[in-house]
Amino acid sequence: MAEERELVLNNGHTMPLLGLGVWRAEPHLLRDLISHALRLGYRHFDCAADYKNEAEVGEALSEAFHQGLVKREDVFITTKLWNSDHGHVREACKDSLKKLQLEYLDLYLVHFPVAIRHTGVGTTASVLDKDGMLDIDVTISLETTWHAMEDLVSEGLVRSIGISNYDIFLTRDCLAYSKIKPAVNQIETHPYFQRDSLVKFCQKHGVAVTAHTPLGGGLANIEWFGSSSALDDPVIQDLAQKYKKTPAQIALRWGIQRNTIVIPKSSKLQRLEENAGIFDFQLSKEDMLCIKAIDRKLRTNQPEKFWGIDLYA
């Protein structure tokens, strides 16, 4: 069954519905991982300055371009502005471009809606104050940061700009003060944390939604945050048997059918291949409703563990 594998953004650029997230990907494995992903058909890679592996991603992409495996225009590269660089947007973007060995980014996101103490471009530190709480910089507004992001588009360094981890209120504000509307809001959403109101709000106003942690984080978030995975839910397990697919494929397919972009992370080659196998089947309306019913409003990614402050409170 042939199916569209890209989504048209509000500025006319297209973005692949499936991407490979490289959060917590071990740098020494990235060369082979990205090469294998490209051979499997992945054309979208989700990076961030804070992942501290942009240089390794850049080396892998440069090698792929040199070998003729893909051309630059064939791939969609996202990276993100870290919290400590809100007052240094252009410098941070140029730093990421240098590490990624690229002349432009397809998408540049504000990683979190908070500016914190600057510690040097690209250092991506999260400095805590004397009380052990994130040292938030109250002199830089999100509006100021956004207008600096817009300048990157005018300069040709970035094709699309967007936001990440923004709720409805912050997204609404960004839409109000922006000259260039955010093309994407990247948020945590998966069967246990569906966030229908936020997803529908964004889509209603032309902001595409990328689902980070689309599998609920798996072992990584169980290990770090003690969360539980929707992949173990009996509904997902039963649907996997019904469609002869893996639980992960069911969760990712659900995400695609919500018109969200999914960026699962995996360093295992078999999982990488399985995660790409989501375009040859379709969940019925009834089964989509079955998944809708298992929402637990369970956020699995909890940065407060490291920041000493709950930004979502």
The pairing of strands 208-212 and 261-262 is parallel
Beta-strand runs (E) in 197-238: 208-212
Centre a 10 Å sphere on the Cβ of residue 261 and count the other Cβ atoms it contains. Answer: 26
* Residue 75 CB contacts under 8 Å (≥ 6 apart), including other chains: 38, 43, 44, 45, 61, 106
Question: Is 312 tagged catalytic?
Answer: no
- Contact in structure between 187 and 210 (CB atoms under 8 Å): yes
Round to whole Å and give the CA distance between 203 and 13: 16
Centre a 10 Å sphere on the Cβ of residue 2 and count the other Cβ atoms it contains. Answer: 6
SS3 149: helix
The pairing of strands 20-21 and 14-16 is unpaired
What single-letter amino acid sits at 23? W
The pairing of strands 76-81 and 105-110 is parallel
Q: Which of 51, 108, 166, 192 is catalytic?
A: 51
- Contact in structure between 171 and 201 (CB atoms under 8 Å): yes
As annotated, the active-site residues are 51
